[in-house]
């Protein structure tokens, strides 16, 4: 298997030119607040620009202290929350406890071994209800 990183690939002096489209700069867009109550039942959307057809895009959510140093496409299955250029999160289903969470998306090659192409992230603070709060329904 040959992984091309340049626009021209030559093997035994037979050269082929082809386009290589890498994901652009990664930025996560959202209208969700940076601080969310753990009991919030609303769905909040996080998105990037559209995913180039040459890559896979996957989303994970980690507690900040559990954030891995590197990602692989088929890793951390229990933290995967979606695929594609956007994901909807209902925080009371995703966050079992209060704390700082990292929403991270990564780009990977379309075929095995799913080479890492890049990622971006945003932090969300999930907070408990204060003990002196009166909830009126």
Q: Could you tell me which residue, 17 or 120, shows the higher pLDDT?
A: 120
- Residue range 111-131: mean pLDDT, rounded: 89
| Residue 27 contacts residue 118 (beta carbons within 8 Å) | no
DSSP 64: G
Q: How many CA atoms lie within 13 A of 48 on its CB side?
A: 27
| Residue 7 contacts residue 16 (beta carbons within 8 Å) | no
pLDDT of residue 14: 63
- pLDDT digit string (tens) for 1-32? 344 455 555 666 666 555 555 555 789 999 99
Q: Could you tell me which residue, 59 or 109, shows the higher pLDDT?
A: 59
> Which token pair is 65?
């202290």
**CA atoms of 86 and 47, how far apart (whole Å):** 4
pLDDT of residue 53: 83
- CA-based diameter of the chain, in Å? 76
Q: How many CA atoms lie within 13 A of 62 on its CB side?
A: 17
- Residue range 32-46: mean pLDDT, rounded: 95
By percentage, how much of the chain surpasses pLDDT 90? 63
């Amino acid at each position: 298997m040959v992984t091309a990183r340049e626009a021209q690939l030559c093997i035994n002096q037979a050269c082929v030119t082809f386009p290589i489209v890498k994901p652009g700069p990664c930025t996560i867009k959202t209208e969700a607040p940076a601080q969310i109550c753990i009991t919030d039942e609303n769905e909040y959307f996080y998105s990037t620009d559209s995913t180039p057809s040459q890559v896979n895009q996957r989303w994970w959510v980690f507690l900040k202290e559990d954030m891995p140093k590197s990602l692989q496409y088929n890793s951390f299955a229990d933290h995967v929350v979606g695929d594609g250029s956007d994901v909807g999160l209902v925080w009371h289903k995703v966050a079992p406890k209060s704390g700082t969470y990292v929403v991270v998306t990564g780009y990977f090659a379309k075929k095995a071994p799913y080479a890492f192409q890049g990622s971006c992230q945003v932090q969300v603070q999930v907070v408990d209800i204060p003990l002196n709060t009166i909830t009126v329904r």
